[in-house]
C-alpha cells in the first residue's frame, strides 16, 4: 500500500510535540531515519492510549463509553495497518509505515492492545508479578518495538529483553507519579498484596492517614524502576551511537521522575512530578558521554528481574 509518508511524518511530529515533551526531546538525538520511525510509532501508541483512556494527547482522562467496541476498532485498524492496508486514520497508517520499513513483529503491537484491554476490564494486579505483566503490556512491548525501530534484529531476544526493561522502568515511574490521578479515575495499579502488607484498605489509597504507608510503596516502585533502568542501560551497548544516546537520555529523564517521587515522600502527589528543561538538557549531555563509553561500562545482570514470555 502506498502512503503519503511526508504527510504522516508531519502529523507525527505535531502529535509528539503536543503529547510528550520528554519523548520529543529524546527523539531529536536519533539519526533522521530512526527519528521519523520512532515518531510514527509514537503516534500510533498515543492514539491507542487516547482511545483507551478517553483523552486527548494524554490529557483529560474521562470515562470511556462502550470500551469493548473501541477496543475492537483499535484491534481491527491495527491489524489492517500491520497487513499494509490503508486505514484512513493517520495514526494507524503511521504504524503501517513502520511495519513496512522494519521487521516489526506483530505480536508486540497486539500485546500493547492487550494491556488496554486489561484497563477496559477494570483489571487490578494481585501480586508484583501481575504488576510486571501489566507493565509489559502497556510499556515493555513498546520498548521492544522501539528496539526494532532502532535496528535491533527481532531474533536478538537478549537485547529485546533490555529494551523491554526500559519500558518497565518508565511504567513503574508513571504508576508512582500518577497514583492520585489514577485513584480519581477509579484505578489502582498497586498490587493488592502490597496494600494488604501495609494495611491500606481498598479504595482508600489517597486518604491522608495512609500517606506515609503509600510513600513507602511509592519508594518500592521507584526502587524497582531503578533496577530495570540499570538493566536497560546495559542494553544500550548493542545500539548505534545515536540510538544509544537517545535511549540513555530518556532513561535519565524518566528515571528522574521515579527518583523525585521517592524523594518527596508523603508530598509526592501535592503537585505532579515532572523533569524540568534544565534537567533534561543535563541528561542529554550526560547521555552523550555515556553513549560514547557504552562498550566499556560494566554489564548489569538481569538476575532476579521479571522476564517477558518470548
For the stretch 267-308, pLDDT in tens is 999 999 998 889 989 999 999 999 999 999 889 999 999 999
If asked whether residues 144 and 86 sit together in one domain, one would say: no
Percentage, residues of the chain above pLDDT 90: 79
Q: How confident is the model at residue 58 (pLDDT cuts 50, 70, 90)?
A: very low
The answer to the question of residue 117 being in a domain is: no
The pLDDT tens digits for 134-184 are 999 999 999 999 999 999 999 999 999 999 999 999 999 999 999 999 999
Query: Is the pLDDT confidence value at 19 over 70?
Result: no
Domain count, the chain: 2
- Position 240 pLDDT exceeds 60: yes
Residue 49 pLDDT more than 90? no
Average pLDDT estimate for 201-221:
96
pLDDT at site 178: 96
Q: Do 139 and 169 belong to one domain?
A: yes
Q: Using CA atoms, how far apart are residues 282 and 286, in angstroms rounded to an integer? A: 6
Mean pLDDT across the chain, nearest whole number? Answer: 92
Q: pLDDT confidence of 309, banded at 50, 70, 90?
A: confident
Please, what's the largest Cα pairwise distance for the chain?
59
Predicted pLDDT of residue 61: 52
Instruction: Note whether 281 and 134 are same-domain residues.
Output: yes
Prediction pTM value: 0.92
Q: Are 198 and 138 in contact (CB under 8 A)?
A: no
Distance CA 70, CA 125 (A): 23
Q: Are residues 81 and 156 in the same domain?
A: no
Q: What angle do CA 36, 132, 149 make, to 5 degrees?
A: 15
- Quick check: is 217 in a domain? yes
Please state, in angstroms and rounded to a whole number, the distance separating the CA atoms of residues 247 and 262.
23
Contact (CB, 8 A) for 89 and 74: no
- In this structure, what CATH number is given to the domain that contains residue 183? 1.10.600.10
Instruction: Report the sign of the C-alpha dihedral through residues 59, 165, 289, 13, in that order.
Output: negative
Q: If you count DSSP H runs as helices and E runs as strands, how many of each does the chain have, helices first?
A: 14, 0
Domain carrying residue 82? 1-104
Amino acid at each position: 500500500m502506498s502512503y503519503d509518508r511526508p504527510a504522516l511524518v508531519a502529523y507525527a511530529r505535531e502529535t509528539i510535540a503536543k503529547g510528550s515533551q520528554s519523548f520529543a526531546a529524546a527523539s531529536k538525538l536519533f539519526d533522521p531515519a530512526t527519528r521519523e520511525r520512532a515518531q510514527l510509532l509514537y503516534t500510533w501508541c498515543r492514539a491507542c492510549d487516547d482511545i483507551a483512556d478517553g483523552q486527548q494527547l494524554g490529557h483529560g482522562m474521562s470515562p470511556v463509553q462502550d470500551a469493548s467496541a473501541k477496543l475492537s476498532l483499535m484491534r481491527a485498524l491495527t491489524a489492517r495497518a500491520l497487513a499494509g492496508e490503508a486505514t484512513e486514520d493517520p495514526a494507524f497508517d503511521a504504524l503501517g509505515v513502520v511495519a513496512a520499513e522494519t521487521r516489526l513483529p506483530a505480536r508486540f503491537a497486539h500485546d500493547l492492545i492487550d494491556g488496554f484491554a486489561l484497563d477496559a476490564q477494570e483489571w487490578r494486579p494481585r501480586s508484583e508479578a501481575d504488576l510486571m505483566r501489566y507493565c509489559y503490556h502497556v510499556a515493555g512491548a513498546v520498548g521492544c518495538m522501539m528496539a526494532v525501530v532502532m535496528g535491533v534484529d527481532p531474533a536478538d531476544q537478549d537485547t529485546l529483553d533490555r529494551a523491554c526493561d526500559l519500558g518497565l522502568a518508565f511504567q513503574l515511574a508513571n504508576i508512582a507519579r500518577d497514583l492520585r490521578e489514577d485513584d480519581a479515575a477509579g484505578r489502582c495499579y498497586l498490587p493488592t498484596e502490597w496494600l494488604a502488607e501495609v494495611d491500606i484498605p481498598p479504595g482508600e489509597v489517597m486518604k491522608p492517614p495512609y500517606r506515609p504507608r503509600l510513600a513507602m510503596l511509592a519508594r518500592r516502585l521507584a526502587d524497582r524502576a531503578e533496577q530495570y533502568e540499570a538493566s536497560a542501560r546495559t542494553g544500550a551497548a548493542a545500539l548505534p551511537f545515536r540510538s544509544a544516546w537517545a535511549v540513555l537520555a530518556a532513561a535519565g529523564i524518566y528515571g528522574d521522575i521515579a527518583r523525585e517521587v521517592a524523594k518527596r515522600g508523603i508530598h509526592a502527589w501535592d503537585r505532579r512530578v515532572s523533569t524540568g528543561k534544565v534537567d533534561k538538557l543535563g541528561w542529554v549531555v550526560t547521555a552523550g558521554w555515556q553513549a560514547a563509553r557504552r562498550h566499556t561500562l560494566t554489564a548489569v545482570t538481569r538476575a532476579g528481574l521479571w522476564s517477558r514470555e518470548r
